[in-house]
């Protein structure tokens, strides 16, 4: 075989999807693995794309996305997050995944370091290392999934290029509090370090929603927002999102964006405009009800677990069972046909992740079977 790029050979495929595929292959019939909303995309959003198709909006679009959409995003960010941005500071991307990839590609030189609070979405490590960078982790399992100034200062070196913040967090569902944000700000202010806000879940916060790190207006030129429509509007298959950064950064990130996808599908962009006026409070309330149910069930099983404040994941500890998360999940899958994700996928092997963006009956069945399994391990 002709040799391939050595870097791509080192990149692992998603462990989350690997385990999801494994679970289905061994016959799991209760699936709490992927973060895919069970809601359909609201009709009023879908109808805008249908209308655009009927009007033959199928030509090439501008690389950064249509101006009216970028203006709408500016209005939305001001209304929701009190974040001031201009259309020339925005690229419409193929989901937040492309926004993150383009941002990292634009900023990283070999040996540059990116700080990532763990547990974390596995893509971060794979993309940073593919681009020749280095991940420096912060263990938030010892700080109740929050971040301290001391942790940031201990992680900083002369090679630090960026920190990635995800709040609400995947996999924990934890929301960074004011103390965490202030600690990060105090540690980074005055330093030439980017703050990448992976804000894909920031509309799914159950109480006291506040802006993310974008609240620090004096650091705006160092903030990069990566946003997705997948979670908030039940649009995972649409693959649409955006990046916000300073104009100079956007100018160079647009090169990567252009060569990867040219521009986002034109007929989708009118639907993206419509979505920004959609109130997804009913979806959020439904996730909250499911959160409350699954949290109580896990506590009643005797599991140590923090109540999620957002997103649609819960991350109980299995440390007391003295078993790896992969072994735990495989045994649960093979014998009880329930699929959940090992914490090892997020570099937190003492935990397991359950996704509760599925219907109540599936959640109840999963909890019933998980309870039976835990009893065989000596749990409550």
| Interval 165-194: pLDDT, tens | 999 999 999 999 999 999 999 999 999 999
Burial class (CB in 10 A: 0-12, 13-18, 19+), 6: exposed
- List the structure tokens of 313: 């994941």
Domains and CATH numbers, the chain: 6-41+280-376 (3.90.1150.10), 44-275 (3.40.640.10)
Please give the average per-residue pLDDT across 25-49, as a whole number: 95
Strand 113-118 to 90-93 pairing? unpaired
DSSP 320: G
Residue 380 has pLDDT above 50, yes or no: no
First to last CA, the chain: 54
The whole-number pLDDT of residue 288 equals 98
Structure pTM? 0.95
Q: How confident is the model over 256-281, as pLDDT tens digits?
A: 999 999 999 999 999 999 999 999 99
């Amino acid at each position: 075989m002709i040799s391939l790029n050595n870097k791509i050979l080192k990149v692992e495929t998603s462990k989350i999807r690997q385990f999801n595929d494994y679970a289905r292959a061994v016959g799991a019939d209760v699936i709490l693995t992927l973060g895919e909303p069970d809601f359909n995309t609201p009709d009023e959003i879908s109808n805008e794309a249908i209308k655009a198709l009927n009007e033959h909006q199928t030509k090439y679009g501008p690389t950064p996305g249509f101006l009216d959409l970028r203006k709408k995003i500016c209005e939305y960010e001001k209304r929701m997050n009190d974040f001031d941005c201009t259309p020339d500071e925005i690229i419409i991307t193929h989901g937040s995944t492309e926004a993150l990839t383009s941002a990292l590609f634009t900023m990283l030189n070999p040996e540059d370091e990116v700080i990532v609070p763990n547990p974390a979405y596995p893509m971060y490590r794979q993309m940073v290392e593919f681009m020749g960078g280095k991940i420096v982790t912060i263990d938030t399992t010892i700080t109740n999934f929050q971040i301290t100034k001391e942790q940031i200062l201990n992680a900083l070196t002369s090679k630090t290029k960026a920190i990635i913040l995800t709040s609400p967090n995947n996999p924990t569902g934890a929301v960074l509090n004011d103390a965490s944000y202030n600690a990060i700000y105090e540690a980074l202010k005055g330093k030439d370090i980017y703050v990448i806000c992976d804000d894909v879940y920031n509309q799914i916060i159950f109480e006291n929603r506040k802006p993310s790190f974008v609240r620090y207006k004096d650091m705006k030129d160092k903030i990069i927002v990566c946003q997705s429509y997948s979670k908030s509007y039940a649009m995972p298959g649409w693959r649409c999102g955006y990046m916000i950064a300073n104009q100079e950064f956007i100018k160079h990130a647009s090169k990567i964006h252009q060569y990867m996808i040219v521009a986002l599908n034109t007929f989708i962009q009118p639907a993206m405009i419509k979505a920004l006026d959609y109130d997804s409070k009913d979806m959020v309330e439904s996730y909250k009800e499911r959160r409350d149910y699954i949290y109580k069930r896990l506590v009643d099983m005797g599991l140590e677990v923090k109540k999620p404040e957002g997103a649609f994941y819960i991350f109980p500890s299995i440390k007391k069972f003295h078993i790896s998360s992969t072994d735990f999940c495989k045994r649960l899958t093979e014998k009880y046909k329930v699929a959940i994700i090992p914490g090892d996928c997020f570099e937190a092997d003492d935990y397991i992740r359950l996704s509760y963006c599925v219907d109540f009956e599936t959640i109840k069945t999963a909890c019933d079977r998980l309870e039976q399994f835990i009893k065989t391990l000596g749990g409550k």
